[in-house]
Structure 1
């Protein structure tokens, strides 16, 4: 006997998936202040900044899926840091469900810093941002 696929086995679905709002407090970094609220694209810009500013595994208040790993790049050759920085930025940002893709990387080096410019494609739109990594 070959099992037949049953389309509806009498169960009713009494739930629906809801996307939570991304509303958050607005951080003003220059003044070390938290003023008002932001949502959607502005909240994503702030989330990207925070993800890339936190060293992964260093703070117990964040899950192991939050943050980026840049600390071990210090002292490495420039070519290694340039290629790894791109991969690690993409890996860190893609942990957020609201970010679909990270691409358009432009890498430049100055003295002891690698400057990475990239575009993050989110559910709210595109964000072009940058990150400096010291080596």
Structure 2
């Protein structure tokens, strides 16, 4: 028997609420968490910093899709390094639903690693972010 039910009218539908983007201030230099709270773009900037600073699969407290996964095994040549860095950074940041896109990658190759800067497009506005990746690890 096929169920025959009434249709859900507009009055029965739940409203989707947007949760605030609040987080506590992380003071990386003193390795402390402050009592002040960040929200909006500043909270996303801190989330980007934290995601890129955490290696994926190393800490049981985080889910398997949190952090940046990278390994230099089998990677050689500038174009391959740049391609993999772009992929790793996007995979680390795009699971955050406040971030819609990561674009405009720029690279500075150094003897022991690569500095990469990129634009993060968020619900709260865009910003440039820079990170260094050591290739000797």
With normalisation by structure 2, the TM-score equals: 0.84
Aligned residue for 1:29?
Answer: 28
**SS state at 1:88 partner:** helix
What's the offset of the Cα at 1:49?
Answer: 0.4
User: What is the CA deviation profile of residues 102-122 of structure 1, one whole-angstrom value per residue up to 9, with x for unaligned ones?
Assistant: 001001101111111000000
Query: Which 4+ runs in 1 deviate beyond 4 A?
Result: none
Aligned residue for 2:19?
Answer: 20
Aligned residue for 1:117?
Answer: 117
Distance 1:134 1:75 in 2: 16
Q: CA RMSD in A?
A: 1.8
Moved more, 97-106 or 60-69: 60-69
What's the offset of the Cα at 1:18?
Answer: 1.0
Query: Counterparts in 2 of 1:46-85, with a 5 A limit?
Result: 46-70=46-70, 72-73=71-72, 76-79=75-78, 80-85=80-85
Distance 1:13 1:64 in 2: 37
Unmatched tracts of structure 2, length 5 or more: 1-5
Q: Which has the higher contact order (CA 8 A, sep 6+)?
A: 1
Distance 1:33 1:61 in 2: 18
Unmatched tracts of structure 1, length 5 or more: 1-7
Aligned residue for 1:4?
Answer: none
**SS state at 1:96 partner:** coil
Distance 1:91 1:123 in 2: 18
**SS state at 1:83 partner:** helix
* Count of aligned pairs between the two proteins: 127
Query: 1:25 touches 1:37 (CA, 8 Å); kept in 2?
Result: yes
